[in-house]
Amino acid sequence: MAGWRMHVEIRPIGLEFAEDLAKIYRENRDFLRPYEPDRPESFFTTNGQLRHIRRILGEMDRGLRWTALIYLTGQPAGLITINNILRGVLQCGRVGYWVAEKEGSRGVASTALRLVLDVAFCELALHRVEASVRTDNPRSRRVLEKNRFHLIGTARDHVFLDGQWRDEFLMERHSPPISPGI
Ligand SMILES: CC(C)(COP(=O)(O)OP(=O)(O)OC[C@H]1O[C@@H](n2cnc3c(N)ncnc32)[C@H](O)[C@@H]1OP(=O)(O)O)[C@@H](O)C(=O)NCCC(=O)NCCS
């Protein structure tokens, strides 16, 4: 549309987002079914999302994850998270994301991933971010490749989704090298 500019932002999750999150989960329930664990009916309500977000905030407080809602020009459009954060000798995390079906193919996921990688490497000081993507999800693999993730290999029967064990590509991205100061 002439004169229309898309603006993608990520907003760290809080209880105030429960209604927005419940709404976009409800609207995308069928779309997300192949990629999400089975959810109880209550998950799609504001109260269910309040419980979900409280659990996420607890994990964020303990440094185990970092989660944000994706907004497209002020409207909720998805969710992105770095979970399984491991410190010690690994300093890594695992990224996951989804974007509402109606906002698809406009670069939203690619931009949100770029923004969350800034958080991962600059704010959380991670050394490496992993992702796994179903082998029949080339669209998501493309989002990762555009953000300079590389293929580690294929994991057979890696994840139980939509009633079956599924193969996944394991992918990774290392933190950019730190340029020497002046
Ligand atoms: C996968 C998903 C995150 C993509 O979101 P999106 O906002 O549409 O992604 P983007 O627009 O940033 O990028 C999609 C890219 O895939 C490409 N693409 C679309 N369909 C494709 C296909 N069948 N094969 C290969 N590439 C494809 C697009 O052309 C685009 O690449 P380009 O920018 O080089 O043209 C979204 O569809 C989604 O949430 N799906 C359901 C949940 C999911 O798969 N989550 C990820 C689990 S690992």
182 residues of the chain, pLDDT tens digit each: 444 678 999 999 999 999 999 999 999 999 999 999 999 999 999 999 999 999 999 999 999 999 999 999 999 999 999 999 999 999 999 999 999 999 999 999 999 999 999 999 999 999 999 999 999 999 999 999 999 999 999 999 999 999 999 999 999 999 998 776 65
Q: For the chain, which residues make up each domain, given as ranges?
A: 8-174
E-state strands within the chain: 8-12, 66-72, 75-86, 92-99, 128-134, 150-161, 164-174
Q: Is 129 in the pocket of ligand 1 (CB under 6 A)?
A: no
Instruction: Report the nearest-CA residue for atom 22 of ligand 1.
Output: 139
Supply the residue whose CA is at minimum distance from atom 9 of ligand 1.
109
To test ligand 1's pocket by mutation, which of 73, 139, 143, 158 has the most ligand atoms within 8 angstroms of CB? Answer: 139
Is residue 179 within 6 Å of ligand 1 at its C-beta?
no
The response to whether residue 100 sits with its C-beta less than 6 Å from ligand 1 reads no
Q: How many CB atoms lie within 10 A of CB 139?
A: 11
CATH of 8-174, one of 1.10.10.10, 3.30.9.10, 3.40.630.30, 3.40.640.10: 3.40.630.30
Within 10 Å of residue 143's Cβ, how many Cβ atoms? 23
